[in-house]
Amino acid sequence: MTKIAVLGAGSWGTTFAKVMADAAVLGGDLPSIMLWARREEVAAEITDSHSNATYLGETRLPEMITATTDLAEAVHGAEIVVLAVPAQSLRSHLQIIRENLESSAVLVSLIKGLERGTDLRMSEVIAAELGVGPDRIAVVSGPNLAMEIAREEPTASVVACASEQTAERVAALCKNQYFRPYTNTDVTGVEIAGIVKNVIALAVGICDGQKLGDNSKASVITRGLAETTRLATVLGGRLETFSGLAGLGDLVATCASPLSRNRSAGRLLGEGLTAEQATAQLSQTAEGMKSGSAVVELARQHEIEMPICEAVVAVLDGKLPVDRLASLLLARDLKAEGR
């Protein structure tokens, strides 16, 4: 029996476990799927009641999904290890993962963040800490609003890996009647798209909080995609990735949906709350608030202009009053649109 470990029992980690369980039933293969949760009461609810009400309401989870608070137990014997923890805490978990990881296990990152202090993407953190080659590290991205997927609303996403064979293997494990994965080998582009769109969603949320209209928000989304593309292509990402699901698709979903944590956090900021007050009102991590400074630092290292991200980070740091942000969101010198 194949064992799959999903580390992180928040909304997206739990939903992805459900996606893989439903794919297994559809394919006639019944693996063991074990979630790792930080809190004992969450693990007990998943195992005993087949639900995770804190994050997914009344969604029923397949009975093949169990949970534990023992990280070593979750990882031991797993052929696939899915990582769904906050970006800034990933590295702290990797030592235990390394000590219990199977020699041929594939790592799958669901995390859309950049590590502060190192400016590393999650696949780079995984590779550095575990000594795992790029053919064993995959990334899942795209429009991934967890609650919609948990409700089995049709969704397409991307599985990216340097190895097409590994990408296809992971895609096969999560393909079901409502979740359609496409494969991609542009890991850099897919990860950068997933990281920066969170910061752009904060900007759109701030526009909401400031009662700005759809023209303003459409402008921020479009120019935000341009910022993302500039950074990613300098880092080696492919241009076509940004017109696809991991680029435009994820950006639109995250910026437009009231289910988006980053847009919701931005709205609170736009209404005048501090970053600390907005975080206190959210039940889950808004990755853009944590990764924004790393995005700006990475852009500066490569001399890439990212005025929207710069302005958002200045608001988060308390260096820019939120009511001045609107005038700065599009503050670039006159130039051709494609630059």
Give the whole-angstrom CA distance, residue 81 versus residue 2. 11
250 labeled part of a ligand binding site: yes
113 labeled part of a ligand binding site: no
> How far does CA 316 lie from the centroid of its chain?
20
2's tokens: 């194949």
Q: Identify whether 197 is a catalytic site residue.
A: yes
243's tokens: 């017109």
Give the whole-angstrom CA distance, residue 185 versus residue 207. 35
272 labeled part of a ligand binding site: no
Helix axes 261-270, 307-316, angle to 10 degrees: 70
Q: Exposed, middle or buried, 273 (CB in 10 Å: 0-12/13-18/19+)?
A: middle
Q: Is 231 helix (H, G, I), strand (E, B) or coil?
A: helix
57 labeled part of a ligand binding site: no
112 labeled part of a ligand binding site: yes
Of 3, 18, 197, 217, the active-site residue reads 197
Give the whole-angstrom CA distance, residue 88 versus residue 115. 6
> How far does CA 300 lie from the centroid of its chain?
23
260 labeled part of a ligand binding site: yes
Give the whole-angstrom CA distance, residue 275 versus residue 64. 39
178 labeled part of a ligand binding site: no
225's tokens: 């995609």
10 labeled part of a ligand binding site: yes
> How far does CA 203 lie from the centroid of its chain?
17
Give the whole-angstrom CA distance, residue 194 versus residue 143. 9
238 labeled part of a ligand binding site: no
Contact assessment for residue 276 and residue 268, using Cβ atoms and an 8 Å cutoff: no
92 labeled part of a ligand binding site: no
55 labeled part of a ligand binding site: yes
102's tokens: 């199977």
> What b/e readout covers 306-337, taking b as 16+ CB neighbours within 10 angstroms?
bebbbbbbbbbeeebebeebbebbeeeeeeee
197 labeled part of a ligand binding site: yes
Count of beta carbons in the 10 Å neighbourhood of residue 76: 15
Give the whole-angstrom CA distance, residue 130 versus residue 122. 12
Count of beta carbons in the 10 Å neighbourhood of residue 268: 23
Residue list, annotated binding site: 8-13, 38-39, 55, 112, 142, 146, 197, 250, 260-262, 287
The catalytic residues are: 197
Residue list, annotated binding site for NADPH: 11-12, 38-39, 55, 112, 146, 261, 287
Residue list, annotated binding site for NAD(+): 8-13, 146, 261
Residue list, annotated binding site for substrate: 112, 261-262
Residue list, annotated binding site for sn-glycerol 3-phosphate: 112, 142, 197, 250, 260-262
